[in-house]
Amino acid sequence: MTKTQLQPVSWQAQEYIIRDHNTVWYIGLAIVALALSALAIWLQGWTFLALIILSVITIIIYINRPPRTIKYHIDNKGIKEGNTFHPYGNFRAFGILKEGEHYSAVLIPKKRFGLQVKIYFPEGSGEPIVDQLGNHLPMEEVKPDLLDKLVNLLRI
């Protein structure tokens, strides 16, 4: 793959997609938490009960926290996400995901247990971003993994 010098691309985007959490969602969370808590009490699993309570509190805090706006910059050296720099050498490929009306570039790590990096971008900025990434990494088809499907299902 020959690498040409492309113009750096910069943009801003939210760190994650805001999902709708209506009253029914909170009632569902409460029902699941109460059922699991009843099971923990019946089994006398006090550590499990503490974990359930802590998890529900954490989920409520997390979903009510507004997403930060992150500055992204892609150039010939790598991707800068806020203050974090990701060199191209850490990744074997990238792919594009569309979640509803939102687009993201998913960077697939070289390491077997490495974490994917997901970068959201506005639709109008997609072409220069894909060009810059494609200049350094091969493009692969990506599909949401099990964790992404679970997060989407639970609307977390």
Same domain, 47 and 84: no
Same domain, 49 and 114: no
What pLDDT is attached to residue 1? 52
Same domain, 132 and 94: yes
Per-residue tokens: 96 = 């594009």
Mean pLDDT score, 6-16: 85
Residues 30-85 pLDDT 10s: 999 999 999 999 999 999 999 999 999 999 998 888 888 899 999 989 999 989 99
Residue 23: alpha-carbon gap to chain centroid: 25
Output the domain CATH number for residue 89: 2.30.29.30
- Whole-structure pTM value: 0.72
* Contact indicator for 20, 156 with CB cutoff of 8 Å: no
Same domain, 130 and 146: yes
- 3-state SS class at 96: strand
Residue 91: pLDDT over 90: yes
Same domain, 94 and 124: yes
Residue 4: pLDDT over 80: no
Spatial separation of the C-alpha atoms in residues 106 and 86, rounded to whole Å: 13
What is the number of domains present in the chain? 2
What pLDDT is attached to residue 80? 93
Residues 66-77 pLDDT 10s: 888 899 999 989
Domain with 32, as residue range(s), is 23-64
